[in-house]
Amino acid sequence: MGNRFLLSELAAKIGAVLQGADAEVDGIAAIEEALPGQITFLSNPKYARHARGTKASAVIAKEPVPDAGCAFLLAPNPYHAFACALELIHPPERPPAGVSPLASVHPGASVGRDVSIGPFCVLEEGAFLGDRVALLAGVYVGKGASVGEDSLLYPRVTLYHGVSVGKRAILHAGCVIGSDGFGFAPSEKGYRKILQVGTVEIDDDVEIGANTTVDRAALGVTRIGRGTKLDNLIQVGHNVGIGKDTVIAAQTGISGSCRIGDRVMIGGQVGLAGHLEVGDGVMLGAKAGVAHSVSAKESPAWSGIPAVPHKTWLRMAMLLPSIPELFRRVKRLEEGKSEKEEGSR
Amino acid sequence: MGNRFLLSELAAKIGAVLQGADAEVDGIAAIEEALPGQITFLSNPKYARHARGTKASAVIAKEPVPDAGCAFLLAPNPYHAFACALELIHPPERPPAGVSPLASVHPGASVGRDVSIGPFCVLEEGAFLGDRVALLAGVYVGKGASVGEDSLLYPRVTLYHGVSVGKRAILHAGCVIGSDGFGFAPSEKGYRKILQVGTVEIDDDVEIGANTTVDRAALGVTRIGRGTKLDNLIQVGHNVGIGKDTVIAAQTGISGSCRIGDRVMIGGQVGLAGHLEVGDGVMLGAKAGVAHSVSAKESPAWSGIPAVPHKTWLRMAMLLPSIPELFRRVKRLEEGKSEKEEGSR
Amino acid sequence: MGNRFLLSELAAKIGAVLQGADAEVDGIAAIEEALPGQITFLSNPKYARHARGTKASAVIAKEPVPDAGCAFLLAPNPYHAFACALELIHPPERPPAGVSPLASVHPGASVGRDVSIGPFCVLEEGAFLGDRVALLAGVYVGKGASVGEDSLLYPRVTLYHGVSVGKRAILHAGCVIGSDGFGFAPSEKGYRKILQVGTVEIDDDVEIGANTTVDRAALGVTRIGRGTKLDNLIQVGHNVGIGKDTVIAAQTGISGSCRIGDRVMIGGQVGLAGHLEVGDGVMLGAKAGVAHSVSAKESPAWSGIPAVPHKTWLRMAMLLPSIPELFRRVKRLEEGKSEKEEGSR
């Protein structure tokens, strides 16, 4: 159970209007699973029928659903109102401030006020944590690496030397920031490693998923912009720049030196070749293989391998299963033609 | 070297019939590398010729191979009999019971009998381990997370707070269970995080590969059914449900709220869009991109991006390299036609 | 700032010829960002115009660029010369020798001279480290696993029991070597695990990326050859053999028992089906899905799903967006034909 609120109270806090009977609630659940005493939400009006069957005390929605037996919390952006309600009913728990005696903190590291450092964390020389940063168990903060205030790092996050993470970041378990970029010079005696002497800078309000990897620049900086969200198991190559408020789904790979704009949306398992630009606001469909720079001006969305405008891809993908039939039709045409030709001789 | 057995003894234990001379064996190897004193197996009769050249003392097979110089251990399911023989000759070693003095176990955690907890493991408040659970080094068991009896967790497995893992599970190094699902509400000020307040429930006899990630539900539960096996580097999104005895190969990604049935087989690098259903017994070919729900009734197997019935895909994939030729043929037809048209004027 | 050199000094050390005024330098940067007192490089003559605008004191290049205001360090292989210069100006820092009192080293482990073992590392019984091996924090070296001299293992690398890593290897954070291969025998009661009793052998001069996973063999050995470089988040299945001086980009997956040759180049997100061979020197394009064995004799490069010779793929991929138009053209031909047929009745 979460915190208890009157619906009227909750409405005021999340910027919604209560329509229906006031009641106490202390939980939140999916519309088909919610029970009395809980609220739920309806972000897509096409599922309005679910509101009629729900047992929830109230539904957060844009418009009331006729004939539904529950109250409504009406909000212009129901999903956003739901996000606010969640934080009120289930406020996120932060580990208490304090440094575990089982952590290894170099005397030359510096930490702000009210930080939380879990067991088996390591802060190397020159590492810096802002106020209220929380590191769960086994986090590694390399030499001179820094984490901005209020950031939360889950177990076993690894920050290589010198990288910087902004404020209010959330880094999930096992992600690796600042590993060497993949750079080798071929020579007669095999490949010679190109030292990767650059770094990584992650701006404020970024979230990075579990086991995602972000390589440090060869020279210069790999950058992730403010408010950008990366899902799990993503690869970000060296010298990549990602803009603000961009979202990238799981298992996508971004090759070295790509420039990704602001408010870009990238689906899962997308791959981008090196040194290309993805313009502001572009959408890349899941599994796309992007081989050249793309902009929203040319097409708002891109799909396919190699990626083409999404509409082109849709038309073509729909017809691909009919290719064998097309071959037969062409063959028939050729035979018809040759029959005539033969007939005309 | 492993444990030593007479072939006759081994036959009795694995449900096979010995044909040929009895002998002592203490090892097991691939058919081309096996030496005298070792056994090997032949699961595919088309490689029968290898049995003729093997130096193994005996071959586990469905039927004897004429003219082979070795003994045979005849079993109706040779691969299964081989699995049993392996366990007898090389019984898996478990770390000895005991709690490392270098582990961090919260006084509010509870553990069963004969558990093994390696150095640098962390059990948070309310964590629970069943009898004979073994945690290798650096495993993290979050607040209120639980692991069923006889489960084995390799180094650096991370269980976020509240998740539960069943009995006899095997979780490989670096896998992360219960990280936040990827949920954000767009707003004018950028994306707002949707707190992920659900959990993950993993049933008995599940195996999860190295560095695989399973996200907790937004609300409710992400579920993995009994006997299901996940390979390495797989992504399982929030609120996904996976049935029983399903196998999923490496680097596959399952988007949020998918429902995967029982006995499903999914190849490597497959991607599934969100909110879709994969029916019981369906096979998804490697690299498939599944964009809508599929059932075995429509087609037992699916391949391609977007996925279509496997047979359709095969026919179409075979013809794709001939597309340039098809364009030329159509051009020729058009020219022939226009020549005629011109000729008829 | 890095080490300070005269250009003439640097030229002698990296096998280049100085053309232009001598000067002191202590840094290295990309051509568009370099400042006076720094050097830069030009590997691709098509970016020669950048040399004209650079503020760098000198540019490493194959040939001087007319009208550029800087000095040149002329070398036959500029990228290689750049790699050498980087190592002189920014020599890689190794952690100092010594065993952290916070590490857990089994009395039955053995370590060479001048090793560095960071906090929270674990060496199990029989583990072996060669001279000058450095383990950063939280590295796990399983029972009987060994690491050759001068190797560098970043935080949280996990070596399962018995695996061996060669000399001068670099293993990045979170990579897992020797996890169980994905092998299960179907039976009436669900899948039965096939114990994976083989191992992994990694030769000298190998680099392995962050969170990459390499499975141990079922029986026998999974091998990675001398000088081979693996990027991040790669999956190498059980019993795979990879040759020498092969490079594999991020998120590629190699199924069990594949044989990859020497000097192979594999792009990102490539997938290889099981039991196939990739000949010496082959190139596999990003996102390729390789379904059968390929050799450089048949084609030097392969792309597509399923993979076909790269030239075939290019021709076909270019035409795919015109497929809808082709359907229309064929329809027009059919109508033309039937009109005539109708006309001739």
The rounded distance, in Å, linking the Cα atoms of C168 and C208 is 12
Q: Are B11 and B20 in contact (CB under 8 A)?
A: no
**Which one of B158, B185, B319 has the shortest CB-CB distance to A155?**
B158
Q: Using CB atoms, which residue from C180, C184, C273 is nearest to B247? A: C184
Convert the pLDDT of each residue in A309-320 to its tens digit: 999 999 999 999
Binary contact (C190, B226; C-beta < 8 A): yes
Place of tokens 């599970």: B169
User: Minimal Cα–Cα distance from A189 to chain B, Å?
Assistant: 33
DSSP characters for C8-19?
HHHHHHHT-EEE
**CA gap B290, B267 in Å, rounded:** 12
Residue B254: CA count within 13 A, CB half-sphere = 34
Chain C: nearest CA to B188, how far in angstroms?
A: 34
Query: Do the beta carbons of residue A209 and residue B176 sit within 8 Å?
Result: no
Cβ neighbour number for residue B325 with a 10 Å cutoff: 14
Give the pairing of strands C308-309 and C301-303. Answer: antiparallel
Closest-approach residue (CA) in chain C for B173: C176
Burial class of B188 by CB neighbour count within 10 A (0 to 12, 13 to 18, 19+): exposed
Task: Compute the average pLDDT of residues C320-329.
Answer: 96
User: What pLDDT sits at residue A345?
Assistant: 43
pLDDT value at residue B340: 54
CB contact under 8 A, A211 and B215: no
C238 is catalytic: yes
CB-CB under 8 Å, B187 with A77 = yes
pLDDT at B68: 86
* Other chains touching A, judged by 3 or more CB pairs under 8 Å: B, C
- The answer on pLDDT for A337 being more than 70 is no
Say yes or no for a CB contact (<8 Å) between C170 and A193.
yes
* Residue A103 · residue A117 · CB < 8 Å: yes
Which of C183, C180, C200 is closest to C192 using CA atoms? C183
- Does the pTM surpass 0.90? The reply is yes
With beta carbons less than 8 A apart as the criterion, state whether B70 and B54 touch: yes
> Please, which pLDDT band fits residue C341 given cuts at 50, 70 and 90?
low
Q: Could you tell me how many residues make up chain B?
A: 345
Write C334-341 long-range contacts (CB < 8 A, 24+).
C334/A329, C334/A333, C336/B337, C337/A333, C337/A336, C337/A337, C337/B337
Cβ–Cβ under 8 Å, residues A214 and A177: yes
* Bigger pLDDT: C3 vs C189: C3
Q: Which residue in chain B has the smallest CA separation from A314?
A: B306
Task: Report the C-alpha gap between C304 and A323 in whole angstroms.
Answer: 17
How far lies B92's CA from each of B100, B131, B152, B171, B228, in Å?
21, 18, 11, 15, 20
As a whole number, mean pLDDT of residues B272-288 equals 98
Q: Name which of C140, C176, C219 is nearest B137 (Cβ-Cβ).
A: C140
pLDDT at position B345 is: 43
Q: What is the pLDDT of residue C32?
A: 87
Cα–Cα distance measured from residue C268 to residue C248, given in angstroms and rounded to the nearest whole number: 7
Per the residue annotation, which of A90, A106, A161, A238 is the catalytic one? Answer: A238
| pLDDT at res. C345 | 42
Chains with at least 3 CB pairs less than 8 angstroms from chain C: A, B
Contact B167, B130 (CB under 8 A): yes
- Burial of C265: CB neighbours in 10 Å, binned 0-12, 13-18, 19+: middle
Tell whether the model's pLDDT for residue A344 goes beyond 60.
Answer: no
pLDDT above 70 for B152: yes
H or E stretch covering B229: strand B229-230
CA dist., res. C203 & res. C199, Å (int) = 13
Q: What is the pLDDT of residues A272-309, one digit of tens each?
A: 999 999 999 999 999 999 999 999 999 999 999 999 99
Amino acid B110 reads S
Is B195 close to A324, i.e. CB distance below 8 A? no
| Catalytic residue, candidates B50, B172, B238, B310 | B238
- Which residues are A294's β-sheet partners? A278
Mean pLDDT of all residues in C150-172:
98
State which residue of chain C sits closest to B225, comparing Cα positions: C190
β-sheet with C98-99: strand ranges across: C98-99, C116-117, C134-135, C152-153, C170-171, C207-208, C229-230, C247-248, C265-266, C283-284, C301-303, C308-309
Question: Is residue C339 over pLDDT 80?
Answer: no
* Element at A223 (helix H, strand E): strand A221-224
Tokens 């010995």, residue located: B18
In a 13 Å sphere around the CA of B304, the CA atoms on its Cβ side amount to 21
How far apart, in whole angstroms, are the C-alpha atoms of residue B77 and residue B60? Answer: 9
Mean pLDDT of chain C: 95
Residue among C26, C49, C29, C52 nearest C41 (CA): C29
Buried b (16+ CB within 10 A) or exposed e, B194-210: bbbbbbbbbbbbbbbbb
- Token readout for C20 is 């232009």
Q: What is the mean pLDDT of residues C72-78?
A: 94
Instruction: Give the three-state DSSP class for A310.
Output: helix
- pLDDT band per the 50, 70, 90 thresholds, residue C220: very high
Q: How confident is the model at residue A108 (pLDDT cuts 50, 70, 90)?
A: very high
What pLDDT, on the 0 to 100 scale, is given for residue C340? 54
**Residue B341 pLDDT:** 53
Percent of chain A with pLDDT strictly greater than 70? 97
Residues A247-250: contacts with CB under 8 Å, at least 24 apart: A247/B182, A247/B184, A247/B191, A249/A286, A249/B182, A249/B255, A250/A209, A250/B182, A250/B213, A250/B235, A250/B237, A250/B253
What pLDDT is stored for residue C187 in this prediction? Answer: 85
Q: Span C54-69, mean pLDDT?
A: 92
Beta-carbon contacts of residue B343 (< 8 Å; ≥ 6 apart): none
Asked if residue C292 has pLDDT above 60, the reply is yes
Q: Which chain B residues have a beta carbon less than 8 Å from that of A337? A: 333, 336-337
Residue of B nearest to A91 (CA): B195
pLDDT of B189 > 90? The answer is no
Query: Which residues in chain B are contacts of C195 at CB distance < 8 A?
Result: 83, 86-87, 90, 92
Among B82-96, C185-199, C277-291, name the most confident range: C277-291
- CA B250/CA B286 separation, integer angstroms: 10
Q: Which residue of A has its CA nearest to C103?
A: A120
Contact: A315, C337; criterion CB under 8 Å: no
Contact B137 C176 (CB under 8 A): no
Residue B214's contacts (CB-CB under 8 Å, 6 or more residues apart) are B175, B176, B177, B178, B179, B200, B202, B208, B222, B224, B236
Closest to A120 (Cβ–Cβ): which among B120, B193, B315?
A: B120
The answer to whether B231 contacts C156, with C-beta atoms less than 8 Å apart, is no
SS3 (DSSP) at A66: coil
Residue type, B339: E
The answer to whether A28 and A2 have CB atoms below 8 angstroms apart is: yes
Separation in Å, CA C225 to CA A207, B168, C153, C201, C253? 37, 36, 18, 9, 17
pLDDT per position as a tens digit, C234-263 = 999 999 999 999 999 999 999 999 999 999
Give the CA distances from residue C9 to residues A192, B113, C4, C42, C59, in Å, rounded to whole numbers and listed in that order: 22, 68, 10, 20, 15
Q: How many whole angstroms separate alpha carbon C340 and alpha carbon A131? A: 83
Mean pLDDT, all residues of chain A:
95
> Between chains, do A327 and B320 touch, taking CB under 8 Å as contact?
no
Active-site choice (C106, C161, C172, C238):
C238
Digit-coded pLDDT (tens) for A161-197:
999 999 999 999 999 999 999 999 998 889 999 999 9
Does residue A107 have a cis peptide bond before it, meaning omega lies within 30 degrees of 0? no
Q: How many CB contacts within 8 angstroms connect chain A with chain C?
A: 176
Sign of the C-alpha dihedral computed for residues A216, A218, A221 and A223 taken in this order: negative
Evaluate whether C38 touches C27 at the Cβ level (below 8 Å). yes
∠ CA(A240), CA(A242), CA(A247), 5° rounding?
130
Tell if the CB–CB gap between C287 and A305 is shorter than 8 Å.
yes
Picking from A341, C197, A286, the residue whose alpha carbon sits closest to that of residue B339 is: A341
Dist CA C72 CA C7 (whole Å): 9
Distance from CA of C94 to the nearest CA of A (A): 12
Q: What is the pLDDT of residue B338?
A: 61
Q: How far does Cα C200 stand from its chain's mean position?
A: 18
Among A55, A75, A54, which residue's Cα sits nearest to residue A63?
A75
Across-strand partners of C271? C253, C289
